[in-house]
Amino acid sequence: MLTNKDILADMHTHTHFSKHAYSTVKENIEAAKKRGLKYIAITDHYYGNGDDLDKKNEINRIQYLGQRVNRVESDITVIGSAEFNLGQDVYTPEKLEGLLWHPVGLHSWFVDRDSLTLDDVYNLFVEAHELKGYNAFNHIEREFHKLNHGQYIDAELFHCLDRIVKYAYKNDIWLEVNESTIVENDGEAANRLFVWLQSAKNNGNKIYLGSDAHYCEEVGKFDRVIRLLNIIDYPKELILNCNEDMLKSMFDK
Name, in order, each residue with C-beta under 8 angstroms of 58's C-beta and a sequence gap of 6 or more. 46, 47, 48
pTM of the predicted model, to two decimals?
A: 0.94
Nearest Cα neighbor of 40 from 11, 75, 66 is 11
Q: Is 133 left (phi over 0), alpha (psi -120 to 50) or beta?
A: left
How confident is the model over 44-100, as pLDDT tens digits?
988 777 777 777 777 777 777 766 665 666 688 999 888 989 987 665 556 666 788
pLDDT tens-place string over residues 159-213:
999 999 999 999 999 999 999 999 999 999 999 999 999 999 999 999 999 999 9
5-19 residues labelled b (16+ CB within 10 A) or e (exposed): eebbbbbbbbbebbe
